[in-house]
Structure 1
Amino acid sequence: MISISEAISIVKNNGKPLLKKTIKSVEKASGYILFEDVVSLINMPPFRQSAMDGYALNLHDSLSYNLVGEVKAGDGHQPNLKKGEAVRIFTGAPVPDSANAVMMQEKVESNGNSITIEHQIALEHNIRPLGEQVKAGNIALKKGTKLTPAAIGYLISLGITKVSVFKKPNIAIITTGNELIEAGQDLSYGKIYESNSKMLLSALYSLKFYDVTLNKVEDDYDKTVSALKKVINENDLVLITGGISVGDYDFVGSALKALEVEELFYKVKQKPGKPLFYGKKKNTQIFALPGNPAAALSCFYVYVYISLQKMMNREDLELSRVKAKSISNFEKKGDRPQFLKAIYNKGEVEILEGQNSSMLQTFALSNALVYASEEITKIEIGNTLEVIVLPI
């Protein structure tokens, strides 16, 4: 059995970036990382653009101008202004080449066919220059940039429809247990509804990992070996829930050994989630998570999250950890470090009741995990605690 810090270090050191390229349509690329630089094919803006509603001027010494027309957003005509002439103009409209400033409408007095401005203004005032954001041929976004909604909007504004991005991992979730049935079926005596696979699927979706398959295997050695062999060969990451303990019908450990999966660690000194397995075969990362739902999800956020970030070649591998003042008292049992379900808000953290590893009700209310180290035996109101902020 190893420590939490050792386990985290092993996951970090054994994970590898996928470094595979795929092409995505821009509108479906949110959350992906650019595989290569994106070069703009156009200037943005593609013309001199008015920054506000007002009047485009061909400046001269007087404050009075002759009004000779109007330019709206989307207009394609080019009025030719002489010195002392102006056109009404609107935000985003193309500024005529013959205009050299825009005066906001609040500082203009209209007199029918002429206007008077409050004061002289500087050349190019209130005009967005051609290529102010990016010029044609220049890099719009660099390789390694995460595509946020703003980045998606920016690329589409440049007319870019497809991008080259780092491929996300193919992931398989495999559940074991003869007692498990699908929600919606009649719940006969001795059966429980299987929730771990959908819980982990939801966690992956929330992190924008969508290439996920769900698999179920009976508590049978040969069937476990066959199912695991298939998903290990076909995926970059395999998450197994249940069957990793040492019961008579827990076949995952022996099946992984038969498939010559390299064991990197098995069992971590922690609560919940002690019977956690991490290994690899060739380039496939494999986690055998505990069957208890709260333990499985805790291990996902502490360990699997790191593996996912490493695969995507990201620098921030762990979830954010902050310090917070406890507003709860809590008596820690046993000598293992614990991850406690909690609610974090504005520098304070509340440790919730119901910390059993088989219970999800408390986890459903949580937005954080308090890390209670081995040395901590009791938490009192006012204590400063280390808090892992969950991505929910």
Structure 2
Amino acid sequence: MISVEEAIALVTQHAQAKSESELVNVEQSLGKTLAANLFAPISLPSFRQSSMDGYAIHLHDSNSYTLTGEVKAGDASNPRLQSGEAIRIFTGAKVPDSANAVVIQERVKKSADKIILEIQPKIGDNIRQIGEQIAEGSTCLPKGHRINPSTIGLLQSLGLAEVQVKKSLRAAVVVTGNELVEVGQSLEEGQIYESNSAVIASALAAKGIQDISQIKIKDNLEDTISQLGDALERNDLLLISGGISVGDYDFVGKALQELKVDEIFYKVLQKPGKPLFFGKRGNTYVFALPGNPASTLTCFYIYVNLLIDLISENSDPGLLRVKLPLAADYPNPFGRALFLKAKIQNSQVHILDHQASSTMISFAQANALAYIPTDQKENPAGALIETILLPYGS
């Protein structure tokens, strides 16, 4: 059995970046990684733009200005203002070349075709200058940037319909267990609804992976070997939920041996998620995740998430980690490293109830995982602990 730190190091060591890239629709690029530096095809803004509703003016020595017209957002007109003249203007509208300031409407008194300013503006007030956000031709996003919703907005504001990203992985999600029943079917005594496939597939989709197959296998060695063998041939990443422990009906480990998957590590000194397997056959990576739902998701966030980022050459691989104080004492008598579902509130880490590996209610409420190393046995309130920020924290 190895430590968490050793397991992370081995995932990092064996991850090989994919060189292939692909052109995808910007609207379908969420979670993917830029394959090259992105250069701005236009400036943002591409014209002098009003940042407020108010009046564009040509400054002079008096606070009194003559009102000569109006420019709305989207208008292409460029009225010429003489010194002491003003036009009504709205947020986002093109500021005339001859205007050198915009005064917000709340600081203006209007009377017929005259306005009186309550303040003395300065040149450039409330005008967004050409290229103020991004200059045409400049690098606006670097290679390795992971595309988020804000990125999509930026790309579209630059007029980009497609973007070059690292080629997405093909992934298979395998769940095992005779006790599992699909949602919508009736439960018999001793059965449970299967949820891990949806959890893993959703987490993969959030990483920009769209080619995801889902496979259900009963507890049978021959079927396990056959279906895992087919999945290994067809995918870059194979995620197996359940069947990796040492029970009489846990056949995943035996099947992986039969299929000549090279074991990189098996079992990590952590809670939850001890019976975690990581291996590789050819160019296909394999994680056999513990079957308990909280264990599955914990292992995904700590190890699978990291592997995907490294393969995709994400410039910031893995989830963000910060040091924050514990809100209450939390001893660690287990002899294993702990990943605890937690909630960050008022800059403190609150360890949630329901930490069992079979329980998802605390994960649904968490926005972080609190990490307590194996040898860190006493953890008093106020102690700084490593806190891993979850991508979809509540």
| TM-score, normalised relative to structure 1 | 0.86
Residue identity opposite 1:375 in structure 2: D
Name the structure 2 match of 1:142. Answer: 142
Name the structure 2 match of 1:310. Answer: 310
CA shift in 2, pair 1:80/1:260, >3 Å: same
1:120 and 1:341 mapped to 2: Cα distance? 55
Moved more, 56-65 or 226-235: 56-65
Moved more, 198-207 or 157-166: 198-207
Residues 370 and 387, structure 1, Cα contact 8 Å, conserved in 2 = yes
Using the TM superposition, give the Cα deviation of residue 365 of structure 1 relative to its aligned residue in structure 2, in angstroms: 4.3
Moved more, 271-280 or 141-150: 141-150
Moved more, 90-99 or 61-70: 61-70
SS of 1:339's partner is strand
Name the structure 1 match of 2:181. Answer: 181
Moved more, 184-193 or 258-267: 184-193
Name the structure 2 match of 1:286. Answer: 286
Moved more, 258-267 or 338-347: 338-347
Moved more, 53-62 or 184-193: 53-62
Query: Which 5+ residue runs of structure 2 have no aligned equivalent?
Result: none
Residue identity opposite 2:38 in structure 1: V
Using the TM superposition, give the Cα deviation of residue 235 of structure 1 relative to its aligned residue in structure 2, in angstroms: 1.7
Name the structure 1 match of 2:325. Answer: 324
1:253 and 1:271 mapped to 2: Cα distance? 20
CA shift in 2, pair 1:14/1:329, >3 Å: closer
Residues 341 and 369, structure 1, Cα contact 8 Å, conserved in 2 = yes
1:156 counterpart = 2:171: no
Name the structure 2 match of 1:53. Answer: 53
Residue identity opposite 2:300 in structure 1: F
SS of 1:306's partner is helix
Name the structure 2 match of 1:193. Answer: 193
Name the structure 1 match of 2:218. Answer: 218
Identity of aligned residues (%): 47
Map 1:227-246 onto structure 2 (within 5 A).
Answer: 227-246=227-246
2:130 and 2:248 mapped to 1: Cα distance? 73
Residue identity opposite 1:23 in structure 2: L
Using the TM superposition, give the Cα deviation of residue 77 of structure 1 relative to its aligned residue in structure 2, in angstroms: 2.5
Residue identity opposite 2:328 in structure 1: I
SS of 2:253's partner is helix
Name the structure 1 match of 2:69. Answer: 69
Residues 325 and 347, structure 1, Cα contact 8 Å, conserved in 2 = no
2:264 and 2:240 mapped to 1: Cα distance? 16
SS of 2:318's partner is coil
Name the structure 2 match of 1:203. Answer: 203
Residues 326 and 385, structure 1, Cα contact 8 Å, conserved in 2 = no
CA shift in 2, pair 1:123/1:196, >3 Å: closer
2:362 and 2:369 mapped to 1: Cα distance? 11
1:384 and 1:119 mapped to 2: Cα distance? 50
1:229 and 1:310 mapped to 2: Cα distance? 25
- Deviations along 1:274-298, whole A, 9 cap, x unmatched? 2211011222211011223332222
SS of 1:302's partner is helix
Residue identity opposite 1:246 in structure 2: V
2:149 and 2:291 mapped to 1: Cα distance? 36
| TM-score, normalised relative to structure 2 | 0.86
Greater Rg over alpha carbons, structure: 1
1:265 counterpart = 2:261: no
Residues 324 and 387, structure 1, Cα contact 8 Å, conserved in 2 = no
Map 1:326-341 onto structure 2 (within 5 A).
Answer: 326-328=327-329, 330=331, 332-333=333-334, 335-341=335-341
2:130 and 2:182 mapped to 1: Cα distance? 59
Residue identity opposite 2:220 in structure 1: D
1:331 and 1:133 mapped to 2: Cα distance? 49
SS of 2:143's partner is coil
